Structure 1
Amino acid sequence: MQEPSALGRVVELVRDLRMRCPWDAAQTPATLRPYFVEEAMELDQAMRTGFGERLRDELGDVLLHVAFQIVLAEERGEFGSQDLVHAVERKMWRRHPHLFEEDGTPVDHTVDVGDVRRRWEVTKQRENGGLRPSILDGIPPGLPALLWAYRLQEKAAGVGFDWPDADGPRRKVREELDELEAELVSDPDRERLCDEVGDLLFAVVNLARKLGVDPRAALEQANEKFALRFRKIEAAADRRGLDMHAAGLEQLDELWDEVKRSGDSQ
């Protein structure tokens, strides 16, 4: 008897859980959705901050959820693990015509990254029956705003709507900041301020993209740095018997500068 694949073993495990565990038996796609999202976020965190065992464990949690959805689909008579794997194979064959014939036969055509992206978009549009009215419709709905901005800019750049280098986005950031400052001195309402702040954030994301910096990773790093320093401020205030709520901005700024001078590794 052939040993089941790694994915097959996880699917078999979920089938067993569904038969013998009341909690697992009660689950539906809807009830599992928040757990799946949570596990995906934990995997994202592991990919950003560490590898090895932690990454393995988080990948395993996501794989378990994938297997769970496969079993639920089997129970509904929709598809099984082999159907899913075959669908992935066929999709990748179609979207890599420089590497495969449509039946998966390997070929070898020399292309650059730009060609690969263009072929990918053409193939995706063909898969949708050519009905996609905009290249932007390929962006999944519900993305976090920062990632959505990045993907919009990336898609537009894919058809040549982009600056040749980072100088254009850099000037655009300054332009948007000037517009925000002009709005601030003109007794603005909240809607206009929101519009100008949004334009500035969008421009900063575009600058990061042109610099080859992942804006989400950069913001996460800044968040972590701020949180680390703020906790050190709290510790310093506690050592001095200082009430953070009662301390004024001047005292807190002094502590902040002290923490910055001491470095973030302490």
Structure 2
Amino acid sequence: MTNLTADKNVKALQRLLSIMEELREQCPWNSKQTLESLRHLTIGKTDELSEAILAGNLEALKQKLGDLIWHVVFYSKIAAEQNAFDIGDVINGVCDKLVVHHPPLHTVASEAESQHHGNLSTPPEKDPNQSLLVDIQASLPALIKALRIQEQAHRIGFDWPNQAEVWEKVEEEIRELKQCQEAGHPQAQLENEWGDLLFSLVNYARFIHINPESALEQANRKFIKRFHYMEQAAQRDGKNLPDLSLAEMDTYWEAAKKNLN
């Protein structure tokens, strides 16, 4: 990074921090926000960022990244008011973590930095009584959480030996779900069997190197695209989609599959 670029970035961050200070003091809305009140807004901004990435819209991506940086600064400001930490602590914290997990960075760290941060060559020891799954966030979407759980189990060797056996497990779970449904078992048990099936499918996705979240999102977007085609095709024919029979809708659906990628 050139000195000019670095100077530009430092000035941009300083400007943002200055605006944060001013708004926190003078803006009624900003001054009353708390960590809890911002949380659901941050979730919304993260969803918008995801949409920009999926759409390949770099201008929107830039804007949404800005929104998230603003939220990081906002959380840090509130925490600083509570004498917990500030934005500098946040940035240094992630820098320390990167150095810990990427040994080549040690070669460019100064002796003074090493003394300041302590011995970064060895990650902090974990409590031996602590679960290996403790770092998996409870708030993660269930599909991603399943993948993270399975990845962690794999790291300690608790995993299926091969892809074929994973697929056998998927087929077993399908049979159990069908048997549960046919036997008229309670809804809670049916839901439990469905969860087992989905968990096993996530595991199979991992074995064939597919991100289940990305794959499901692609399927969602494909369905939406085809459904919009159906609606528009029906309108061109002077028809209202909800008024059509299933057979008529299937005709439009097959046309959508044929004409769209």
Does residue 178 of structure 1 match 2:169?
A: no
Aligned partner (choices 63, 72, 75) of residue 78 of structure 2 = 72
For each residue in 1:199-220, what CA deviation from the matched residue of structure 2 results, as whole angstroms up to 9, or x when unmatched? Answer: 1111111111111111011101
Does residue 87 of structure 1 match 2:93?
A: yes
Distance in 2 of aligned mates of 1:248 and 1:62? 46
Distance in 2 of aligned mates of 1:208 and 1:187? 30
For each residue in 1:29-50, what CA deviation from the matched residue of structure 2 results, as whole angstroms up to 9, or x when unmatched? Answer: 2221111111122222323332
Aligned partner (choices 205, 208, 219) of residue 208 of structure 1 = 205
Q: State the superposition RMSD in angstroms.
A: 2.7
1:222 aligned partner = 219
Distance in 2 of aligned mates of 1:166 and 1:48? 29
2:192 aligned partner = 195
How many matched pairs? 245
- 8 Å Cα contact 1:7/1:67 also seen in 2: no
- 8 Å Cα contact 1:93/1:104 also seen in 2: no
Distance in 2 of aligned mates of 1:54 and 1:245? 34
- 8 Å Cα contact 2:52/2:58 also seen in 1: no
- Seen in structure 2, the aligned counterparts of structure 1 residues 5 and 262 have a Cα distance that, compared at 3 Å, is same
1:49 aligned partner = 55
Aligned partner (choices 231, 236, 242) of residue 234 of structure 1 = 231
- Further displaced range: 229-238 or 41-50: 41-50
Distance in 1 of aligned mates of 2:75 and 2:11? 17
- Seen in structure 2, the aligned counterparts of structure 1 residues 165 and 12 have a Cα distance that, compared at 3 Å, is farther
1:123 aligned partner = 123
Q: 1:79 Cα shift? A: 2.2
Distance in 2 of aligned mates of 1:78 and 1:104? 28
Does residue 25 of structure 1 match 2:31?
A: yes
Q: Identity rate of aligned residues, in percent?
A: 36
Q: 1:5 Cα shift? A: 4.6
- 8 Å Cα contact 1:11/1:68 also seen in 2: no
1:59 aligned partner = 65
Distance in 2 of aligned mates of 1:171 and 1:104? 53
2:253 aligned partner = 256
Q: 1:159 Cα shift? A: 0.7
Q: 1:229 Cα shift? A: 0.8
Question: Aligned to 2:106, what secondary structure does the other structure show?
Answer: coil
TM-score by length of 2: 0.83
Residue 123 of structure 2 aligns to which amino acid in structure 1?
Answer: T
Distance in 2 of aligned mates of 1:78 and 1:191? 43
Does residue 9 of structure 1 match 2:15?
A: yes
- 8 Å Cα contact 1:11/1:70 also seen in 2: no
1:115 aligned partner = none
For each residue in 1:81-108, what CA deviation from the matched residue of structure 2 results, as whole angstroms up to 9, or x when unmatched? Answer: 222222223333334456539x876xxx
Q: Structure 1: 5+ residue runs without aligned partners?
A: 106-119
- Seen in structure 2, the aligned counterparts of structure 1 residues 172 and 104 have a Cα distance that, compared at 3 Å, is farther
1:116 aligned partner = none
Distance in 2 of aligned mates of 1:97 and 1:163? 31
1:162 aligned partner = 159
Does residue 245 of structure 1 match 2:242?
A: yes
1:109 aligned partner = none
